[in-house]
Structures are given as structure tokens and as C-alpha cells.
Amino acid sequence: MKSPTLATPLSPGGSALWTAAQVTALAVTAAVLAGLFLAPELTLKIAWFAVVPLLPASFLINPGLWRGICPIATANTFKAPAKGRVLSPKAMNQAAWIGIVLLLVLVPARRLFLNQNGPALAITLVAIVALAFVGGRLFRVKAGFCNSICPVLPVEKLYGQSPLLWVRNPRCVPCAHCVTKTCIDLDQPRAIGAGNGTRTGRDWLKTPMGLFAAAFPGFIWGYFQTQDMALAEWASVYTTVLGPAVVSLVVVGAILLVVNPSTRAAAPVLGAAAIGVYYWFAGPASAEAFGLPATTALGLRWIPLALVALWLVRALQPSGKQRATA
């Protein structure tokens, strides 16, 4: 089935469904923010061990599922000017680095206070929502946050480069052309690249996304080698998390220099490696957090890994086509 363009209006039923999902996401976010103050221990457990582990798998299916309902994206796009400033290729490159750095800072911060302190997580989320809202006023639609400095965007691009299902974009109809290249909403498979014609692993490694993809498996592994600590232990936490990321970057970089595979081959392998490491640890961690039996822990590890394997096989197909879904 041929996918409609971003200039084709959504059907009334489709528009109503997406609107309901967005409103529900906003309501859930409000409940989470309240819970982080009123019942922080329970809310933190649900957020980190039930909700967050679902997101990487949803990106494999299609990052548009999350991007369509994300409450931060709703703040970013709410009455955002369709004719505001766009980001030039140079600005896009700089914005990509900002998003990556934000991710590298925020994830280890989980071990220092975001995993343990409900009000601190709530304040952080509100600050990010405010940043997205302001960005939407200063730049055209998603150029101010979702398609530029969002710290989740690099992960969406890495895991969403070969979506298993096609999902209609509900936010960008018609397309406002807020960014000049690598828009994940326009073309998910090409968004992983640098947007400047890079075709080999060596060239891709020189781009922000290439460097991120090479370091990310080690970064995730490093996070799961730490434990929740006091803020005073920040140096130990960041060293433990970022050290393996540097090792991963060096090892992958050396391999790419020698083998020099195509970006189409290198990017999916690195994406699968990163998400595979994540679910190897995250599945059992979620089971332990909720006191689930060992058999459930195995299922929470191996079922996502089976999805990763399916995704990787599809991503490496020479001319695989996405399955369409209404």
C-alpha cells in the first residue's frame, strides 16, 4: 500500500484517534508529575521499570508511534509558527550535538538523583517541556526541539531507521519543512545518515549520528554497571558510564576503518547491538523491581531480543519494504 504524503490530510477518524491518544498522554503525564510528589517511590518504579522500557521496542516498530503522542512534542508543536525560522544544515549539525550531549548527561544523572528523587525528576521533566515549548515559539514547528535538540532524537533515529510498520504522522500535515534534511518524520531510513551523501562507514563515523551510534552500545553497558548513588559520587558514575562509551567508539571506529562497510549495513548492526544490550539488562531489572519470578525475567529479556533480531534481519535486507498499516 502506498503511503500518503504529509500533504494529505488525516481522515476524520484517524485525526480523532490521534487527538485522543495525545490528550491521554498529556493526562498520564500530569498524573505522573503529581505522583512524583505525592507517591514518589511507586511512581518512580512504574516510570523507570514499566513505561520507559517499552519505548525502545516501540521505536523498532516505528518511532512515529511515540512521536505522535509524546507530550513534550505536543508542547513543542502547540500553536508553533508554520513560517518561523528553519535550521540550516550547519545549525542542524550543531543541534544534533546538543541533543547527544543532553542524553549523555541525563542518563547517568538517573543514578545520581533521577531514579531516587521524585520531585527532582518532576522538575527536570517540566524544564524539558518548557524548553520544548519555548523552542516551538522561536523556530518553525519542530525545528526548535523535536527535530533538533531533543535528547531522545538520536535514539529514535538509531532504532527507527528500519521501522517494522508504517505509521501515519499526525503532527506534520501538511509538512512545514522546518528542517532542511534528516527529518525522521519525512524519511526514517535516511534520517540515520548525515544527510550529505555519506555511504560508507568511515564517512558516517565522522558525523554526529555515526559517532553516537558507535559509542552507544558501550554507553548503555556502562550505565548498567553502575548503581544508584549519592550526588557526591557523580565523578564515579560518569566515569563508569562514559568510559565504556569511549571504548566502544574506539573499537567500532577501528573496525569501520578496516572493514569500511556501507552505512546501510553498519547503522542497523550498531542499533541492534545497543538495544540488545539494553534489553539484556533492562528486562531482568524490571522483573526484579516488581518482584516477578525468574521465568518472567527471562521472558522480559528474550522476547524483546527476538524483536531486535527480527528488526535487524529486516533492516539488512537489500530492498526491504515497510509493511503498511492503517
pLDDT tens digits for 99-155?
999 999 999 999 999 999 999 999 999 999 999 999 999 999 999 999 999 999 999
For residue 325, is it within any domain?
A: no
Determine the structural domain holding residue 149 and report its residue range.
Answer: 12-45+56-315
The pLDDT of residue 1 is above 70:
no
Max Cα distance, the chain (Å): 56
pLDDT at 6 (0 to 100)? 58
- Rounded to 5 degrees, what are φ and ψ at 101? -65, -40
The pLDDT of residue 4 is above 60:
no
> How would residue 2 be classed by pLDDT, with cut points 50, 70 and 90?
very low
pLDDT tens across 236-247, in order?
Answer: 999 999 999 999
Q: Which H or E element spans position 143?
A: none
Q: Scanning the structure block, which residue is given the C-alpha cell 549520528?
A: 209
Distance CA 262, CA 198 (A): 9
pLDDT at 12 (0 to 100)? 82
For residue 6, is it within any domain?
A: no
Distance CA 271, CA 274 (A): 5
For residue 324, is it within any domain?
A: no
Q: Say if CB 192 and CB 90 are below 8 A apart.
A: no
pLDDT at 10 (0 to 100)? 80
Q: Is the peptide bond before 174 cis (omega within 30 degrees of 0)?
A: yes
For residue 40, is it within any domain?
A: yes
Number of domains comprising the chain: 1
For residue 321, is it within any domain?
A: no
For residue 2, is it within any domain?
A: no
Computed over every residue of the chain, the mean pLDDT equals 91
What is the SS3 assignment for 56? Answer: helix
Lowest average pLDDT, out of 160-169, 178-187, 260-269, goes to 178-187
For residue 256, is it within any domain?
A: yes
Distance CA 213, CA 225 (A): 20
> 0.85 cut: is pTM over it?
yes
pLDDT at 81 (0 to 100)? 86
For residue 84, is it within any domain?
A: yes
